[in-house]
Amino acid sequence: MRQLPSIAALVTLSTLALGARAEEPNTGAAFLTGASVFFASMGVGGLLLTAKSGDHSIENAGWLTAESGFTAAPILAHGIVGEWARGLVFAAPPAISVGATATLFGIQPDAIENGKLPKQRILWSFFCVGLFSSAAGVVDAAFADRRVHSVVVAPSVGAGSFGLEVGGLL
């Protein structure tokens, strides 16, 4: 029940992303969508982490909620500009981090509060990898219109050869 607002926001933003495809990519909407998912997941995850109910499963759910948002943010941001595959590339490290964190929580459910220092470092490493990769993906979606205008595909014909040349910022 606590995650209902975040689920509703994710479904709404996903629906917007599916219908969005114009001549010029709407990079502002892409950035806003990605940033909204990014910060909403951090907010909901943070609320669950600070619940202090003594139940490690709630704290773990908060941590995983934040990391899951890191996975969704670049996918939805790039979806707005029609670059789903590029969004999946930026979402891969956070997705791997979520799986690795869930595995760590399976091994030691109280890793957030009572984990030994090496496990704490591993936990925070996964979190930071997801955080920075996701943020980079959301920012990258904001530059989609520059990529569209700076990529040139031209026919190439020479002595005994022909083909296509791709140049510019990829």
Mean pLDDT by 10 residues, the chain (170 residues): 54 52 74 93 90 79 92 94 92 94 88 78 91 92 72 68 65
Q: What is the pLDDT of residue 6?
A: 54
Q: State the pLDDT at residue 128.
A: 92
CA distances from 7 to 2, 29, 35, 46 (A): 10, 19, 16, 16
d(CA 87, CA 141): 8
Q: Residue 22's pLDDT is what?
A: 47
- Backbone φ, ψ for residue 131 (5° rounding): -60, -55
Q: pLDDT per residue over 48-97, tens digit each?
A: 888 777 778 888 888 999 999 999 999 999 999 988 999 999 999 999 99
Q: Which two tokens stand for residue 169?
A: 């910022």
Total-model pTM: 0.70
Contact 38, 133 (CB under 8 A): no
